[in-house]
Amino acid sequence: MTLTRRQALILGGAGVVGAGIVTVPISGVSAKSASKLSDRDMPRPYGTPLTIPPPLAYQTTVDADGVTTRHYTMTQRLGSAKILSRLSTPILGYNGIFPGPTIRIDRGTRAIVRVRNQLPAKHPTLGHALPTSTHLHGSASLPQYDGYANDLTLPGFYKEYHYPNFQPARSLWYHDHAVHFTAQNVYSGLAGQYLISDPVEKGLLPQGQFDVPLTISDAMFAANGALGFDDREHSGLWGDVILVNGKPWPVMKVQKRVYRFRILNASVSRSYNFRLSTGDPVTVVATDAGLMPVAQTVGSWRHGGAERYEVLIDFRKYAVGTRIELRNTSNENNRDFDHTGKIMRFDVVGDTVNTADPTWNSIPTTLATSHPMDLKATDAVKTRRFRIKHDDDTNIWTIDDLTWEEVIASGFKRVMANPALDAVEIWEMENSSGGWFHPMHMHLVDFQVLSRNGKPPFAYEKGPKDVVYIGEDETVRLLVHFGPHRGRYMVHCHNLTHEDHSMMLQFRVGLGADEEDPNDPITAAPAVWDPVQG
């Protein structure tokens, strides 16, 4: 009998698949631990305070037309993170920290972010070369500023990324997108939040210290405190330590009022099913690409890699001293460990609440109907279907039988689709790769989830999105408006180890196959040698 690769993976036959990594089944798996830390060094839930990444400083210029631009610089460098109490953890970080600094900017103010690559030639523990490409996830950037996987900035070089920020308020994030090593680089620390504000959002939702970015990831540690990396033959990385803003299962003190949390799943592979330990619901007010038309009150939500959900939690009714946990009941096809069901804890404190702030007790219901939530399925001029598969013999994930390798081989010309500029289309994606879920992400566009398995999407998905969770045997239909830029943009699975091997394709908007592309993602704005080193 010959086993297919997947059967071999399921049987966990060491050596069957070459690298000798023992791999066990995929569904609802629970295991003891992934970290090699001693008992003494293994962090315990709720032993450390939540920290908030610092803001990033900038300079402002105003041009002759009155356009305001902020100029930021971030340096990718080695850093040392304090995650474990007795050991330090080497990381790669924007400005040497994980998560990277938070950028908060108003809609209508442009930004130019100089990203300096001051990383060593090779990753200190994993050994791969360290050219980088920075993607601002959720921004309609021109192709040459979009972090195209092969638009690489070598160590010693920098690249200036131009961000338009004309889109409605939303929670974006920047992260590395280097071809074949995105998983390793993001996991090592190259990720941060970038938040666009506007008057609509400011009028409705908590601001300042009550508007809290939460970047959630999972990690495994070597005995010396370094990050371990095991992607189980490119199927997924499953850490046993949950980090929120880079701290293990932290605790946040909260006042008796309404808080807004911008929850980003920055894990390489893991998805979550979040809920409160009290059983009380939360109110989802924004999805990946901004405010929902109508707030949705839900008891739990499934949250895949790169998705952003903004939720309001109302702490008014809890007595001072109450401890409320954010928990994770997980989903099919994750690997869970003893404490991956816990995320963080909120401790209610008796500080005086500023009731002059109108958001302190407000849970709005009607929010904002922005594009593309105002579109209807009948606006679509075309329906395209894509099938996601896994080849059990080669262990390759494909989208319509193609991978990024074919895109590379074509000189970056090959596309999965060529919509006209401003075309509205329905994209149907079917996951026929049994045993895995895939958070699929389209660059450039925001989309509306029309249906999931022929039924309406989940309540919390009824907002503008740029990533959609496609579980085992699920089919989603997306309503997409292609624009406002012409050019080539990537589509990929945001399980980063899938993306790297090589579950990624591209579409081309508003350009013929042989038409000259003024916004060529690789050549239009190349990185330059940095006159300042260090």
Least separation in angstroms between residue 503's CB and ligand C2O is 11
In sequence order, what DSSP letters do the residues of 158-205 get, joined into one string?
A: EEEEEE---SPSEEEEEEE--TTTHHHHHHTT-EEEEEEE-HHHHHHS
484 cis-preceded (ω within 30 degrees of 0): yes
Is the CA virtual torsion 135, 335, 343, 453 positive or negative?
positive
Compute and round to an integer the Cα radius of gyration of the chain: 22
For the chain, report the end-to-end CA distance as a whole number of angstroms.
Answer: 58
Least separation in angstroms between residue 7's CB and ligand C2O is 31
Least separation in angstroms between residue 496's CB and ligand C2O is 9
Interface region with ligand C2O, contact rule CB under 6 A, candidates 117-125, 259-267, 273-281, 487-495: 487-495
Q: How far apart are CA 457 and CA 465, in angstroms?
A: 12
The strand order across the sheet containing 191-197 reads: 103-106, 191-197, 170-176, 134-137
How deeply is 420 buried, as exposed, middle or buried, from its count of CB atoms within 10 A (0-12, 13-18, 19+)?
Answer: middle
With a CB cutoff of 8 Å and minimum separation 6, the contacts of 517 are 143, 486, 487, 488, 511, 524
Residue with smaller CB distance to ligand C2O, 259 or 309: 309
Residue with smaller CB distance to ligand C2O, 452 or 498: 498
Residue with smaller CB distance to ligand C2O, 74 or 258: 74
CA distances from 17 to 9, 78, 502 (A): 8, 34, 18
Among Cu ion, ligand C2O, none, what does residue 116 contact (CB within 5–8 Å per kind)? none
Least separation in angstroms between residue 467's CB and ligand C2O is 8
Residue with smaller CB distance to Cu ion, 263 or 493: 493
- Is there binding between residue 175 and ligand C2O (CB under 6 A)? yes
Per CB under 5 A, residues contacting Cu ion are: 438, 493, 495, 498
Among Cu ion, ligand C2O, none, what does residue 496 contact (CB within 5–8 Å per kind)? none
Near ligand C2O by CB under 6 A: residue from 183, 282, 490, 511: 490
What number of helices (H) and strands (E) belong to the chain?
5, 34
- Is there binding between residue 303 and ligand C2O (CB under 6 A)? no
Between strands 157-163 and 134-137, the pairing is: unpaired
Near ligand C2O by CB under 6 A: residue from 327, 335, 441, 452: 441
Nearest to 25 by CA among 336, 431, 432, 396: 336
Residue with smaller CB distance to ligand C2O, 37 or 190: 190
- Is there binding between residue 492 and ligand C2O (CB under 6 A)? yes
- Is there binding between residue 306 and ligand C2O (CB under 6 A)? yes
Residue with smaller CB distance to Cu ion, 206 or 305: 305
- Is there binding between residue 170 and ligand C2O (CB under 6 A)? no
Least separation in angstroms between residue 36's CB and ligand C2O is 29
- Is there binding between residue 136 and ligand C2O (CB under 6 A)? no
Interface region with ligand C2O, contact rule CB under 6 A, candidates 22-30, 422-430, 431-439, 486-494: 486-494
Residue with smaller CB distance to ligand C2O, 500 or 530: 500
Among ligand C2O, Cu ion, none, what does residue 493 contact (CB within 5–8 Å per kind)? Cu ion
Near ligand C2O by CB under 6 A: residue from 123, 247, 257, 443: 443
With a CB cutoff of 8 Å and minimum separation 6, the contacts of 309 are 263, 284, 286, 287, 301, 303, 460
Q: How many CB atoms lie within 10 A of CB 405?
A: 13
Q: Helix, strand or coil for residue 47?
A: coil
Least separation in angstroms between residue 174's CB and ligand C2O is 9
Q: Helix, strand or coil for residue 10?
A: helix
Near ligand C2O by CB under 6 A: residue from 135, 159, 234, 465: 135
143 cis-preceded (ω within 30 degrees of 0): no
How deeply is 137 buried, as exposed, middle or buried, from its count of CB atoms within 10 A (0-12, 13-18, 19+)?
Answer: buried
- Is there binding between residue 50 and ligand C2O (CB under 6 A)? no
Q: Which residues bind ligand C2O (CB under 6 A)?
A: 135, 137, 175, 177, 306, 441, 443, 490, 492, 494
